[in-house]
């Protein structure tokens, strides 16, 4: 037996529900954007600055520690380059943590 009329109607109802859900979601986003206004622009600029400073400062701290280690324990490996790479990785991880945390807070606020 093939699909009956009732099966076809159930499929149409499901598609309509999906459409309604998508329209509700888009309308909600539009309302939030109007309510927040310029806050989202300034929030984005602040977040961009925080990420930049986080990566830059940890990288510079790593470089200074590496220079000190090269002077204290001279050897075949460059502690400056090693600590530069470590500072860069730590800075990127820290920036990722803050961005994901803010994203989660923003998503929780939406619900």
The Cα–Cα gap between 82 and 37 comes to 44
Q: How far, rounded to the nearest angstrom, does the alpha carbon of residue 35 sit from its chain's CA centroid?
A: 22
Q: Is 27 in the same domain as 52?
A: no
The SS3 call for residue 108 is helix
- What's the structural domain count of the chain? 2
The Cα–Cα gap between 58 and 84 comes to 9
pLDDT, residue 100, reads: 86
Q: What is the pLDDT of residues 76-98, one digit of tens each?
A: 999 999 999 999 999 999 999 98
Lookup: tokens for 67? 């220079």
Q: Is 47 in the same domain as 100?
A: yes
Q: Is 69 in the same domain as 85?
A: yes
pTM of the prediction? 0.58
The Cα–Cα gap between 107 and 89 comes to 27
Among candidate residues 89, 63, 88, 56, the one with its CA nearest the CA of residue 78: 63
Q: Is 44 in the same domain as 95?
A: yes
Q: What is the span of the domain harbouring residue 13?
A: 1-36
Binned at pLDDT 50, 70 and 90, residue 9 comes out as low
Q: What is the pLDDT of residues 23-53, one digit of tens each?
A: 888 877 777 666 665 556 777 777 788 888 9
Q: Is 32 in the same domain as 80?
A: no
């Amino acid at each position: 037996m093939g699909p009956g009329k009732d099966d076809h109607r159930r499929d149409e109802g499901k598609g309509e529900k999906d459409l309604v859900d998508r329209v509700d979601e888009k309308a909600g986003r539009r309302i939030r954007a109007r309510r927040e206004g310029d806050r989202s622009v300034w929030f984005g600029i602040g977040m961009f600055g925080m990420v930049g400073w986080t990566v830059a400062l940890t990288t510079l701290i790593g470089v200074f520690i590496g220079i000190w280690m090269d002077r204290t324990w001279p050897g075949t490996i460059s502690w400056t380059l090693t600590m530069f790479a470590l500072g860069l990785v730590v800075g990127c991880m820290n920036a990722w943590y803050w961005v994901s945390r803010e994203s989660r807070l923003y998503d929780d606020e939406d619900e």
